[in-house]
Amino acid sequence: MRRYLTPLLFLSPASALILLFFFTPVVATLLLSFTDLSTTTFRHPSWVGLANYQDLLTDPFLKKILANTAKYVGLTLAFNVGMGLLLALLTSLVPENWGDPFRALWLLPRILPPVVYVFIWQGLLAEAPMGLVSDLLGVSKNWLVEAPWTAVILANGFVGASFGMLIFTSAIRAIPRELFYAAAVDGATTGQTIRRVVIPMLAWPILFVTAYQTLSLLTSFEYILLLTDGGPGFYGTEVWSLHAYHLALSNYFGNVEFGLGAAMAAVLVVIGVIVSLFYLKIFNFRALVTEPKIEV
């Protein structure tokens, strides 16, 4: 057994952190969701079984939040994948010394601090004279309040598009040149080449990006929190994950309903575990594992 001491040493910091901040929280989320933990019961939470889940189902706003979530995930996803595809194609259709700077430019929304990024959106959407949109449309309004969904989807979409863009670009670059030459020899137009040669090769990457982003959109709420905080009005853009966060962690309404929030999060956690295990299966990752050649 002494021979496994070294790998154990190498793995222990990572394992400890993963245990502490992945495994424990997964279990804790599930456990907390069965309690009535809240501001008032913080010291003495009691076991309430499935009560939180029942509350969830009977919540009059459940429908609204589900609809919001579907809208947010569906539309943002469509924008992300569509824009990602468009960007990958466009940056591949122009010479590389043009394509690369544009790709880099589209990375900016992703690497800018979210607070700064969202502030820019708020500024652009503000009333005149500040707001560029008001200026251009000639109607001075706070467009964040007028069209909150457009804002939420665009703000998230501009961040998310680069993910698809990069993956699709790699896929396009991996297409053998001979296919393009063959298409050219056959007299295909650019449009035909894209439809017949490029798009078919992107089927798998598109599926991958869609699957991956569905899961991450379902659970992410950082940009909505900053942009509208679920508003305007009552739950205007409140989505499932944000609602869970609000219930459990923001003292917006005074009493923090930790258990109820945990129940909402637990739904996401369970979906997350199942879906990522499913990815693992279709990924065929065993192909990526090779036997080490050193036995000391």
Partner 1 sequence: MALLPRNWPLWLLLLVLITLPIGAGILWLVLTALYNQVHGLIPVGRLAPQHWRFLFEGSVGGRPSIWVALKNSLFFAGTVAVLEVLIASMAAYAISRMKFPLRTPYLGMILTLHAFPAVSLLIAIYYILRVLGLFDTLVGVILVKASLDLPLGIWLMKGFFDQLSWDMEMAALVDGASRWTVFWRVALPLVRPGILALGTFALLSAWGEFILPFTFIVSAKSWTLALYMQSFMKEAFVDYGLMAAVGLFYALPVFLLFLFGQRYLLNIYSGGVKG
Partner 2 sequence: MTKGTGVRLERLTKRFGRVVAVRELSLEVAPGELVAFLGPSGCGKTTTLLMIAGIYRPTAGHVYFGDRRVDPLHPRDRDVGMVFQSYALYPHLNLFENIAFPLRLKRVPADQVRRRVRETAELLGIGGILERRPAQVSGGQQQRAALARALVKEPQVLLLDEPLSNLDAQIRLSARAEIRRLQRELGVTAILVTHDQAEALAMADRVAVFSMGELQQYAPPDELYHRPKNTFVAGFVGSPPMNLIEGEFTGDGFRAGGLRLALPKAPTGRGWLGVRPEHLGLGPEGLPARVLVVEPLGREAIVIVELSGHRLQVLVPEDEKPAPDAEVRIAFPTGALHYFDAKGRRIGPE
* Segment 262 to 291, residues that bind ligand ADP, using CB under 6 A: 291
| Shortest spacing between CB 226 and partner 2, in angstroms | 44
Q: Which residues contact 53 (CB under 8 A, 6 or more apart)?
A: 33, 263
**Residue 248 interacts with partner 1 (CB under 8 A): yes or no:** yes
| Closest CB 197 distance from partner 1, rounded Å | 8
Q: Contacts with ligand ADP: how many residues (CB under 6 A)? A: 2
Q: Which of 51, 62, 124, 206 binds partner 1 (CB under 8 A)?
A: 124
Q: Which is nearer to partner 2, 97 or 290 (CB)?
A: 290
Which residue ranges make up the site for partner 2 (CB under 8 A)? 291, 293-296
Among 2, 57, 177, 253, binds partner 1 (CB under 8 A): 177
| Shorter beta-carbon distance to partner 2: residue 14 or 294 | 294
Q: Within 10 A of 39 (CB to CB), how many other CB atoms are there?
A: 11
Contact status: 168 vs partner 1 (CB under 8 A): no
Q: Which does 68 bind (CB under 5 to 8 A by kind): ligand ADP, partner 1, partner 2, none?
A: none
**Closer Cβ to partner 2, 177 or 293, answer by number:** 293
Task: Report, in Å, the least distance between residue 64 CB and partner 1.
Answer: 21
Single-letter amino acid, residue 173: R
295 binds ligand ADP (CB under 6 A): no
Other CB atoms within 10 A of residue 59 CB: 14
Residue placing its CB nearer to partner 2 in the complex, 178 or 291: 291
Number of residues that bind partner 1 (CB under 8 A): 126
* Contact residues: ligand ADP, CB under 6 A: 291, 293
